[in-house]
Amino acid sequence: MSRILIVEDEERIASFVKSGLESHGYQVDVVNDGIEAMHWAKYSNPDLIILDIGLPGKSGIEILNELRGTGNMVPVIILTARDSVSDRVSGLELGANDYMAKPFAFEELLVRIRLRLKDATSQASSSLSELSVGEITLNFYDRTVVFKGKKIELSGREFALLELFMRNPNRVLSREQLLSNVWEMDFDPNSNVVDVYVRYLRQKLDENVIQTVRGMGYKFKS
Ligand code: CA
């Protein structure tokens, strides 16, 4: 079971995220000030930290700076109301793995948590900031995609789906596998949402990037 530390001084948000994550099987601790957060991050060894920036005691940026400065590479998702460019840039430069601006959809946060936890376990094979397969490069810092030298805009879900494909090149992935990894576990298995998003990716990238394997699912061609 993965352990997640939520560092958030807004009680309403902290308890909303905590109960959501607990209902998905995560073990969750919440701290609401920066100094306490530093202590927990060091001594309780969480698998992932959800970090607010504006905090009493010590800011999220200071916490991140201290953690990375001591070589602590725990995945950090910054969750903050300050959607200003400078906060975002400094957070990512200091080594946050992801960034979400409040208000946010819980479902999207969950997707990103799953991806970052997965990244952390397969880190040896991939760099933290980029993933390249064939002519596609995903950049996790600014969540952009470059295809054949051209920058392409993707939604959060499209990005997550493409990332999953790229981590499993030339392997057939069933709709159920794609649904459970990119969407909620309990998503209606009869939903055609996977097909819809595969179509979006084909339209934005290239028709041949993702192949349909009849009766089985989809395959990303490297
Ligand atoms: Ca705050």
% of residues, the chain, pLDDT over 70: 91
Distance 33 CA to ligand 1 centre (A): 9
pLDDT at 1: 80
Residue 17 burial (10 A CB sphere; 0-12, 13-18, 19+):
buried
How confident is the model over 139-146, as a mean pLDDT? Answer: 86
Q: What is the CATH number of the domain that holds 179?
A: 1.10.10.10
Q: Do 172 and 122 share a structural domain? A: no
Q: What is the CATH number of the domain that holds 86?
A: 3.40.50.2300
Distance 155 CA to ligand 1 centre (A): 26
How confident is the model over 99-108, as a mean pLDDT? Answer: 88
How many domains would you assign to the chain? 2
Distance 89 CA to ligand 1 centre (A): 18
Beta bridge partners of 101: 80
Q: Do 111 and 56 share a structural domain? A: yes
Who has greater pLDDT, 54 or 89? Answer: 54
pLDDT at 19 over 60: yes
**Domain endpoint, select from 126, 151, 172:** 126
Distance 148 CA to ligand 1 centre (A): 40
- The pLDDT mean for the chain works out to 87
Q: How many CB atoms lie within 10 A of CB 134?
A: 13
The boundaries of the domain holding residue 183 are 130-220
Distance 102 CA to ligand 1 centre (A): 10
Distance 82 CA to ligand 1 centre (A): 9
Tokens of residue 214, six digits:
């009849």
Q: Do 112 and 20 share a structural domain? A: yes
Distance 6 CA to ligand 1 centre (A): 12
Find the distance separating the first CA and the last CA of the chain, reported in whole Å: 32
How confident is the model over 107-112, as a mean pLDDT? Answer: 93
- Contact, 50 vs 6, CB < 8 A? yes
212, HSE (Cβ side, Cα atoms, 13 Å): 11
Which residues are found with C-beta within 5 Å of the ion, ligand 1?
9, 52, 54
